Chains A and B, each alone.
Chain A
Amino acid sequence: MTTTLIADRPVEVDAEGFLTHTDDWDEELAAAIARDSGIAELTPRHWLVVDFMRDRYLATGTAPSIRALGKESGVPVKELYQLFPKGPAKLAAKIGGIPKPRGCI
């Protein structure tokens, strides 16, 4: 765990930059993490996914996998990769201030 400045605010993050405390999160932080990850602006489609991930994590304690995201969020997997290049579930989780989704076994 290290403390870093995001949007001029000190927050605690893990080795890969995921927020340690879900409560630290707000929309300003989300936008700053997105910019650091190469997404200049969060569109309503981005927000749909980020909100879905965050709500699901807060309700169940686990973030959905990319496949579940594609089936349930209303955004198809192909578009998820356009919105969040490389790893949509991972990146959306990071922007949403929740822990990195655990890979399956």
Chain B
Amino acid sequence: MRAPSARGGWTVSRKRIVVLGGGTGGTMVANRLRRHFDGDEAEIHVVDRDDAHVYQPGLLFVPFGLAEADEIVRSRHRQLRGNITFHENEVMEVWIERNEVLLDDGTVLPYDVLVVASGARLQPEETEGLAGPGWNERVFTFYTPDSAVALQAALERFDHGRLVVNLVDMPIKCPVAPLEFAFLADWYLRERGIRDRVDLVYSTPLDGAFTKPVASEQLAGLLGEKEIELVTEFNAGEVDGVGGKLASYDGRELDFDLLVTVPLHGGAAYVERSPGLGDALGFVPTDKHTLQTPTNANVFALGDATDLPISKAGSVTHFEAEVLVENVVRHLAEQELVAGYDGHANCFIETGFHKALLIDFNYDTEPLPGRFPTSLGPLPLLRESHLNHLGKLLFQTVYWRALLPGREIPGLGTTMPTAGKRLAHTP
């Protein structure tokens, strides 16, 4: 990006890339872009309101004492390569027409390319009574470190009664997490020898245990085996956290002694404050294959922040990051973008007793049985195994050491592998 100046020498037209969010997506993108561009080709800025990067898959284990909250949190700026500027600031507004971002200390950051990677925000206040009396006493979520820690204490005290797990409405981060919570709760209560004194209920607005048919059937079977009651099409409208009642919009009620909820999710607050950037829920409309926003050629988005019809999950963000970085490079070089993202997602699903399932899917192919990444395995798909559980545990190290720094991970490519899948299941 050097151009001859009027005086015949070389001047440098350095591009400025601003990344909003220093979580999984923002960190990966900034580090990969830093590797691609020299310091005199591009300056890279990352903005986040705090310096606490949470390894979110670890939150699931905190309520059961299987992980400590402080071991899954690290500094955000320390995950960034050198020569990336980290701003610990709240974003006030994106002025999309002017290519500028306003921060809460009055700083204005102009950009050539903007990457929105600010994730999703929990909105318990949007459900009547949910954030009211009883919150963190009888009503908990494991989606924040604070509430996960409070839930751990509550579970320790809990020795009989009704434990209700509820997800209020989609979309949520990691759609399998509430199921995993129910499986792990069953295991935890059996280990303590009090499972027969607890009614365990899983309630969901979906019409089955999960969104995709083959996996939904398999997971409903597991709920049945573990004697967890499945309540479907339950749209939670109101919570009485003192009296212990969860009511649906269509008038049904579930009594609980302990409610573990996954609240409604929306995009970051500044997205809603920035005209033209997000939709009604604060998610950013994004092209499902290029990750460019349809309204602004120099604005890209990835991860939980987008409106894409795929899971809000770290694996999705990882695969998207590779395509997004390539397209930012192409955009700055005035080349055509690649429609490279196919909706690839994969998730380990903890099922308790040191076992886990693995699912792997994309926009067009639902999670199917088989083996991953090829027909030789080593990991079985959509079936419980100890190896999958070890994979899930090992992944935390891979996350900090390879994924965030932007290194390639063998066997984990952007597009979904079909070699090991029994595709006959495709409807």
* Residue from A72, A78, A104 in contact with B249 in the complex, judged by beta carbons closer than 8 Å: A78
Report A53-73 residues with CB < 8 Å from chain B CB.
64-68, 71-72
State whether the Cβ of A85 lies closer than 8 Å to any Cβ in chain B: yes
State whether the Cβ of A5 lies closer than 8 Å to any Cβ in chain B: no
**B150 CB to nearest A CB, Å:** 27
**Residues of chain B lying within 8 A (CB to CB) of residue A9:** none
- Given contacts A66-B169, A104-B211, whether A71 and B280 have CB atoms under 8 Å apart is yes
**Residues of chain B lying within 8 A (CB to CB) of residue A87:** 233
- Bound CA–CA A64/B307 (angstroms): 12
Report B235-254 residues with CB < 8 Å from chain A CB.
235, 237, 249-250
Which of B206, B279, B311 has the most chain A CB within a 10 Å cutoff? B279
- Bound CA–CA A81/B249 (angstroms): 6
* Residue from A71, A72, A77, A105 in contact with B237 in the complex, judged by beta carbons closer than 8 Å: A77
**A28 CB to nearest B CB, Å:** 28
State whether the Cβ of B171 lies closer than 8 Å to any Cβ in chain A: yes
State whether the Cβ of B9 lies closer than 8 Å to any Cβ in chain A: no
Report B163-213 residues with CB < 8 Å from chain A CB.
169-171, 175, 206, 211-212
State whether the Cβ of B410 lies closer than 8 Å to any Cβ in chain A: no
Tell me the dominant secondary structure on chain B's binding face: loop
* Residue from B237, B250, B279, B309 in contact with A104 in the complex, judged by beta carbons closer than 8 Å: B309
**Residues of chain B lying within 8 A (CB to CB) of residue A78:** 237, 249
- Bound CA–CA A65/B212 (angstroms): 18
Report B325-364 residues with CB < 8 Å from chain A CB.
none
State whether the Cβ of B54 lies closer than 8 Å to any Cβ in chain A: no
Q: Are B237 and A81 in contact (CB under 8 A)?
A: yes
Contact with A along B147-173 (1 / 0, CB 8 A): 000000000000000000000011100
**A40 CB to nearest B CB, Å:** 18
Q: Are A105 and B309 in contact (CB under 8 A)?
A: yes
**Residues of chain A lying within 8 A (CB to CB) of residue B170:** 65, 103-105
Contact with A along B259-277 (1 / 0, CB 8 A): 0000010000000000000
Q: Are B250 and A105 in contact (CB under 8 A)?
A: no
- Given contacts A77-B249, A81-B249, A87-B233, whether A105 and B281 have CB atoms under 8 Å apart is no
State whether the Cβ of B310 lies closer than 8 Å to any Cβ in chain A: yes
- Bound CA–CA A65/B168 (angstroms): 13
**Residues of chain A lying within 8 A (CB to CB) of residue B279:** 68
Q: Are A105 and B280 in contact (CB under 8 A)?
A: no
- Bound CA–CA A3/B356 (angstroms): 46
**Residues of chain B lying within 8 A (CB to CB) of residue A71:** 280-281
Q: Are B310 and A105 in contact (CB under 8 A)?
A: yes
Which partner residue on chain A sits nearest B127 by CB separation? A77
Q: Are B237 and A103 in contact (CB under 8 A)?
A: no
- Bound CA–CA A71/B272 (angstroms): 12
**Residues of chain B lying within 8 A (CB to CB) of residue A72:** 280
- Bound CA–CA A103/B171 (angstroms): 9
**B267 CB to nearest A CB, Å:** 12
- Bound CA–CA A104/B212 (angstroms): 10
**Residues of chain A lying within 8 A (CB to CB) of residue B211:** 103-105
**B305 CB to nearest A CB, Å:** 15
Which of B170, B206, B311 has the most chain A CB within a 10 Å cutoff? B170
- Bound CA–CA A2/B206 (angstroms): 26
**A53 CB to nearest B CB, Å:** 13
Which of A65, A102, A105 has the most chain B CB within a 10 Å cutoff? A105
- Given contacts A105-B310, A105-B311, whether A67 and B235 have CB atoms under 8 Å apart is no
- Bound CA–CA A102/B170 (angstroms): 11
Q: Are A67 and B264 in contact (CB under 8 A)?
A: yes
**Residues of chain A lying within 8 A (CB to CB) of residue B233:** 86-87
3 nearest A-B pairs in the assembled complex, by CB-CB distance: A104-B170, A81-B249, A68-B280
A-B contact pairs, 12 of them (CB 8 A): A64-B280, A65-B169, A66-B235, A67-B169, A67-B281, A68-B280, A68-B281, A71-B280, A72-B280, A81-B250, A103-B211, A105-B310
On A, residues with C-beta under 8 Å from B are: 64-68, 71-72, 77-78, 80-81, 85-87, 102-105
Instruction: Please name 18 further chain A to chain B contacts, defined as beta carbons within 8 Å, in addition to the given A71-B280, A105-B170, sorted by A numbering.
Output: A64-B280, A65-B169, A67-B169, A68-B279, A68-B281, A71-B281, A78-B249, A80-B249, A81-B235, A81-B249, A85-B250, A86-B233, A87-B233, A104-B171, A105-B171, A105-B212, A105-B310, A105-B311
